[in-house]
Amino acid sequence: MKDIAGSAKNFINRCVRVLKIMKKPNLEEIKLTVKITLAGMAIIGAIGFAIFSLFVLLSSYINM
């Protein structure tokens, strides 16, 4: 039991330390994060669309 209490206290101390050194992101950091996220979503969507289009194209040739 003592080991669990020590581990929990250690975890809480580490969490408090992280919260103390954290800072709120400024507007430029938020804009950059949004741009990177949207670019990643667009790339993944384009890859998915290309794969889907390829399968539709192949299935139309197979069903002929």
Position 40 pLDDT exceeds 70 = yes
- Which residue in 6, 25, 23, 4 sits closest to 14, CA to CA? 6
Q: pLDDT class for 63, splitting at 50, 70, 90?
A: confident
Position 53 pLDDT exceeds 70 = yes
Q: pLDDT class for 4, splitting at 50, 70, 90?
A: confident
| The pLDDT value given to residue 29 | 96
Position 2 pLDDT exceeds 90 = no
